[in-house]
Each structure stands twice: as structure tokens, then as C-alpha cells.
Amino acid sequence: MTRISRLATITVSALAVTVFAAQAEDFTIGLSNGWVGSEWRTQMIDEAEEAAAAWKDQGVDVKVVVQSANVDVPGQIAHVRNFINQGVDAIIINPNSPTAFDPVFAQAKEAGILVISTDAEVSSPDAMYVGIDQKGWAEESAKWLAETLEGKGKVVAINGVAGHPANQMRVAGYTEVFDGYPDIEVVNEVNANWDQAQGQQAMQNLLATYPDIDGVWVQDGMAAGAWKSIMDAGKTGDIAATGEIRKDFIDLWVENDLTSGASVNPPGVMASALNVAVLLLQGNELKEPATAGQYGNAMYLPIPFIDGSNVKEAATELDGKPGYYSYTDALSIDDAKALFK
């Protein structure tokens, strides 16, 4: 990513990373995805598999074993246990809970298995996180909305899956920002499970109850659905709302000259985590430990952001992609190597 602005620089984890070295240049990495309710998750897994294949050019054979299904927390803990029993070299997980995995991650470490979470941070001292700062992601878009509304007005929020750790951090982010604007009133917050159709219905219901709202803070792929309801209600010029750097939403934005600001949680976060994992498995050491994240074990990746000034650049970069395609970015192998001694 070169043209869309990045809102953060990479901060290396505070975790005192154990070096997981192996003699042979071939590794097996388990990928655990505990929710499959969006195209974003499919793109995330696809990009991670592509990243694994790219290591062949470096003379390294990276095999990935994927467990991707709608499971509750105990079901995803079973994913991790399966990987431990299979004797994988590393586990990369998009976790359904920030805290529930501590005991099983300790078991993985005891078995000599590296654990990295992505997309959502985890509290375990036996894991590290590679991904964006979800709270910072929400703060930036909420700040854009507050400033666009000149610090006053009625706002609604459409959130993702209730209780999901990434969603919780995002809610904390926009709440903190809006609390700093006493003339902004958040009149309602609902969940639409990161689903575009549910986002559209939620927005329709909110407009029926609050026809005079000024702004909408909405997450991810739900943005296109929310904006469709805003347009159907004839309120395109009356409402400012956040969005996502995703093909279908960007097309909608450009065609209708929407008042929007958008960021994205790049699906490439799992690919980034995989490249970091391989380098750690090779026995490399991060250049400097830091104190990123609420659990002190995070490596934060850059967050793209666009507004009306550069939305057409984003449209050009997404040209030819399917509507569900999210703008993505990932640490290449060389990018990841630059973080190591």
C-alpha cells in the first residue's frame, strides 16, 4: 500500500518472545478461524495460504492446516488442542475470546508451539498479537465523524458481533472519542453481526425511530448496507456516516458522492502473522520488544484511511475486484524481515 494513507507505524510486541527454532526449513502452521460469517474471513484465510506458498521462493516449505468454522469458544479451544496433538510448529488464531485461551496457549507453549493471535488481541503471556489496533481503528473513524459534524449532533452506531473481542475494543474506541464531544449524543447502539444485509435492516429500523439523526458510526461490510438504507430514505445529503474500504462500498460512495470516511481492517493481517511466525520459527529475534496493546504483547500494523479527498484513488486500486473484496495490506516477507535482527 503506497497511496492510501497509513494511520499507524508498526510497533513491535512487548512480549519477550521465545525463539522457536527448528532444524529443517519446513514448518506446519495451524490456522484457526472461529467464525465464518463474512467474506472478509474467507479473504483472510486465502491470503494467509498465499503467504505460506510464497515462502517456497525462499527455500522454505510452509504447510498450513486450516480449521475454519462457526464455533463457540470451547469449540475453538478444541481447534487449538487438535493442533497441539498434530504437533504443528505454530498456531495462528483469530480468537473468539480475549481471555479464554490462556490455559490452552500455555499447553501449546509447553509443547514448543508458537502461538500468534490476529484480528483480536489475547491476554495470554504465552502468545503474541499481530494485527491492527482495533481501538485505534475505531477512534480514527469516530474522530472523522465528530469533526465532520462540527462536534454536535445525534449519532447511532451499528456494531459487529456482540461480545467479540475486536468489536468490544472498537466500541471502547468510538465511545471514548464521542465522550470528548459533549454536544454529540449517541442515541442508540445496535449489533448487526458484520453482515451487510443485517446492517441495512438495522439502519432502516434506526431511521424509522430516529429520523433526525446526523451521523452513523458503522463497521466493516455493514457500511454498504447502512448507506443503502440512508439513500432509500432520501437522506444522502443529510447524514454523514463511516464506511469501509471495500469494493462495493467504494463504488457506492463514488457514484453517489457520499459524505463518508473509511478505514479497513486489512484481511492480510493473518498473512502478516504467518510471515512473522516463520521468521520466529527460523530462530530470528525481533529487533526490539515494546509495550504495545492492552496486554503488552502486540505488534500493531498500519491502518489505511480515506475520505473524500482520496476515495477515487481507492476506487482505482479496487477496480476489477469483486464487490465483497476488502482493500488489503500485509507484511511481505521482506517487510517482516526488516523487523528482525
Average pLDDT over residues 127-149: 96
Is residue 271 within 8 A of residue 222, CB to CB? The reply is no
DSSP class of residue 302 equals P
Same-domain status, 55 and 158 = no
Structure confidence at residue 189 (pLDDT): 98
DSSP class of residue 327 equals P
- Is residue 314, in this structure, part of any structural domain at all? no
Nearest to 174 by CA among 200, 211, 137: 137
- Is residue 180, in this structure, part of any structural domain at all? yes
Structure confidence at residue 4 (pLDDT): 59
Global pTM reads 0.87
Which amino acid is it at 255? Answer: E
Give percent of the chain above pLDDT 70.
92
45: containing domain: 5-132+266-303+327-337
Same-domain status, 250 and 278 = no
Q: Is 83's pLDDT higher than 90?
A: yes
pLDDT, tens digit (0-9, with 9 covering 90-100), for 315-325: 999 999 999 99
Same-domain status, 238 and 285 = no
- Is residue 311, in this structure, part of any structural domain at all? no
- Is residue 40, in this structure, part of any structural domain at all? yes
- Is residue 57, in this structure, part of any structural domain at all? yes
Q: Is 8's pLDDT higher than 60?
A: no
Report the CATH number that the domain containing residue 38 is assigned in CATH. 3.40.50.2300
Which amino acid is it at 317? Answer: E
Structure confidence at residue 165 (pLDDT): 87
Same-domain status, 21 and 94 = yes
Burial label for 208, CB within 10 Å (0-12, 13-18, 19+), is exposed
Q: Is 224's pLDDT higher than 70?
A: yes
Same-domain status, 228 and 86 = no
Same-domain status, 240 and 280 = no
Same-domain status, 89 and 20 = yes
- The span from the CA of 293 to the CA of 302, in Å, is 14
DSSP class of residue 150 equals T
What domain count does the chain have?
Answer: 2
Average pLDDT over residues 133-138: 94
Domain finish residue from 247, 263, 279: 263
- Is residue 165, in this structure, part of any structural domain at all? yes
Same-domain status, 270 and 126 = yes
Q: Is 5's pLDDT higher than 90?
A: no
Nearest to 301 by CA among 268, 334, 278, 337: 268
- Split at pLDDT 50, 70, 90, the class of 15 is very low
Average pLDDT over residues 95-112: 97
Same-domain status, 10 and 71 = yes
Average pLDDT over residues 58-71: 96
Nearest to 215 by CA among 161, 151, 274, 164: 151
- The span from the CA of 103 to the CA of 110, in Å, is 11
Same-domain status, 148 and 255 = yes
Domain finish residue from 236, 263, 290: 263
Contacts of 193 (CB under 8 A, 6+ apart): 37, 160, 161
- The span from the CA of 51 to the CA of 90, in Å, is 15
Structure confidence at residue 292 (pLDDT): 87
Average pLDDT, the chain: 92
Average pLDDT over residues 3-26: 50
Q: Is 20's pLDDT higher than 90?
A: no
Nearest to 174 by CA among 209, 131, 219, 127: 219
Domain finish residue from 263, 290, 318: 263
- Is residue 14, in this structure, part of any structural domain at all? yes
Structure confidence at residue 40 (pLDDT): 92
Give percent of the chain above pLDDT 90.
87
Same-domain status, 141 and 69 = no
Average pLDDT over residues 322-338: 95
- Split at pLDDT 50, 70, 90, the class of 198 is very high
- Is residue 316, in this structure, part of any structural domain at all? no
